[in-house]
Amino acid sequence: MSATEILRQDHLKIRRLEKIVIKCHKDLYAEKPIPIPDLEKITFVISEFLDAVHYSREEDSYFACVASYDTLKEEIRKFTIEHEFSRRIAKNIAKHVQRWKNGEDAREPVARFLRTYAIYLNDHLSKEDEFFKRTPEVLSKEEEQAMYEQFQSVMAVSTKIETVMKEIEYLEKQVWFIS
């Protein structure tokens, strides 16, 4: 397996989250009940997996290595800007979930930001998938292997991924998601 393949595997996990987010925002707009703890789990998955693990892998290692060859720099710059956009949407989701938890009616902003996040995920992941198709022309097998080993060596990351996957599996089994 290579670093690129790990990132592609991350994308498969993120696509599962995307389905949850889509179902959730549609149900919220339809006035169907979504438990606040489930909304908190969604925000947890976004912050702990997308931001703390996946974006970190890309920004701290992968993009830096690819950019060192003076190729694909413009795409990388756009991706990092999009990552920041993602972080801002996620902060708004968490803020409005907290407002709702505190008794305010924040259904609409939660639904709106979840919808925005789903649109972002689809667009962003599609572009990154295309990007990953071009990176084998840039990275050597040794660089791919070194990054792969680096990704695998961080034990805290594998623990986070296990926790996040349990949360995704939990959300996928909820009545509101299945129905």
Question: How is the chain split into domains, by residue range?
Answer: 3-178
pTM for the predicted model, two decimal places: 0.92
Please state which CATH number belongs to domain 3-178.
Answer: 1.20.120.520
Per-residue pLDDT at 37 = 97
- pLDDT tens readout for residues 26-45: 999 999 999 999 999 999 99
Q: CA 92, 97, 98, 101: dihedral to nearest 10 degrees?
A: 160
Residues 49, 113 contacting (CB under 8 angstroms): no
Given a cut of 50, the residues of the chain with pLDDT beneath it are none
Is residue 105 within 8 A of residue 88, CB to CB? The reply is no
**Token output for 80:** 């990092």
Contact yes or no for 48/26 (Cβ under 8 A)? no
54 burial via Cβ count (<10 Å: 0-12, 13-18, 19+): buried
**Whose structure tokens read 């990132």?**
7
CA distance 81 to 75: 10
Question: What pLDDT shows up at residue 152?
Answer: 75
pLDDT at residue number 38: 98
What local confidence, expressed as pLDDT, does residue 173 receive?
A: 97
